Copies of this chain bind each other. A is one copy, B any other.
């Protein structure tokens, strides 16, 4: 891998859908360009669970998401600094976005104490005590060397008192401002430019979300994220918040909807003008035996697939989807073979990759809305009955 990469950074809109806010873009980072809309597989601890980096490359994954909080705790920034960054540590020379880990810390509940200064928390691994401030989180992501760094924000749970959401918005804004200052005052460690994205909060309160984003948009972030959604609120409320956000956000900066979601969520958000996505759904559900396919969700552990010699999804142009059969994959799950996790994860990421690539193609052709409608109808009609439920994306 090249020691130092110094590409152009920036964002360009290549094409806009005539009948929606959907846009085709190119996000240039130091480790290469990302065609948007794009889905980022979740590699929390420096790997997508049950997939090695080489397989990710073969799948055509454009950009990987890792988690600053997790990597700070383990292996520790000393290790990653010794390797001169996350790319060299994990052997991945394409773009990486690191989430600050704010979401994970605020999920700790019993283990954290938050103040305007920052958040004190106990490690979920060994109970040791740590403090994250906005400045420290930027510093950690300097060491990680991620192409896109995320500010520390406060993500309130759902439901939450209005007062608590107001506090979270106020802190998120203060922290965003401090993060940006820390980012501008310190140089990159490894000779290439990193980007910093701000994050909007506000729960499902239109006025708070509008206020938060209006403030945030005044600052010179490289991109903006819509945070605090897909945490249990009704889907319609989520869509409303996304619509409201993309109306306010500058058109010349990438927009990242954090932690979302299902194929339907993603296509709807693309229609509303979102450019970047991440979610554990395809990878986590894969490990539970739930496959995303062009003919709907399939619970491959179901006895009905026992004799099935159908491929996982013959419409996808990936070896894993076209050659592995449902019967074989079911056997691997029932026999508790790790290989089941590998195959299901690879297939689900292949499906998401195909979904986003097709969305881009349809935006380019100006037929995104029609395709979206007919594809979602088809998914709905084709929905294959399952025997057990899979937990929703957190």
- A-side residues, CB < 8 A to B, are 45-52, 54, 74-75, 79, 82-83, 88-91, 306-307, 309, 319-320, 323-325, 327-328, 330-332, 334-335, 337-339, 341-343, 346
Contact = CB atoms under 8 A, between A and B. Distances in A.
B325 A91 contact: yes
A-B CB proximity, top 4 nearest? A47-B339, A50-B338, A75-B331, A45-B335
A79 B306 contact: yes
B45 A337 contact: yes
Nearest to A47: B339
Q: Determine how many copies of this chain the complex contains.
A: 2
**Residue in A46, A47, A306, A346 whose Cβ sees the most chain B Cβ within 10 Å:** A47
B337 A338 contact: no
A82 to B, nearest CB: 5
A341 to B, nearest CB: 6
B327 A47 contact: no
Contacts of A327: 75, 79, 82-83, 89
B309 A82 contact: yes
B46 A331 contact: yes
B83 A51 contact: no
Contacts of A320: 52, 54
Given A52-B342, A306-B75, A89 B328 contact: yes
9 contacts: A45-B331, A46-B335, A49-B337, A52-B342, A79-B327, A79-B331, A83-B309, A338-B341, A342-B342
Nearest to A339: B47
